[in-house]
Amino acid sequence: MDRPQAEADARTYYDGSREEPDPNEVLDPRRIREWVDARRLPREAPVIFRGLTIEVELSRPAVDYLTPRLTVTPL
């Protein structure tokens, strides 16, 4: 966001708050946060990867490895 956009957003916020009799209420951070959140586009649900099994064969005996679980990346 750039300065002109921020100024336009602030004008929109204040224009929508003109009927509020208490100026302190207009500047309440919780109210401003709610206003900003209401204007945001809803986020798309993240894609959750549920797992993938790849058959592998160790090139050395299993006892040679220091950890019982290895992370493998296919190349």
Does the pTM surpass 0.75? The reply is no
Residue 7 within a domain: yes
Q: What total of structural domains would you count in the chain? A: 1
74 vs 54: CA distance, rounded Å: 9
Q: Is residue 56 part of a domain?
A: no
Mark out the alpha helices in the chain (DSSP H runs).
Answer: 3-16, 23-26, 29-39
Judged against a pLDDT cut of 80, whether residue 73 lies above it is answered with no
pLDDT of 16-72, one tens digit each?
A: 888 888 888 999 999 999 999 998 888 787 888 788 787 878 888 888 888 877 777
Say if 72 falls within a structural domain.
Answer: no
What does the pLDDT look like over 5-19, one tens digit per residue?
999 999 999 998 888
61, part of any domain:
no
With 70 as the cut, is the pLDDT of residue 75 above it? no
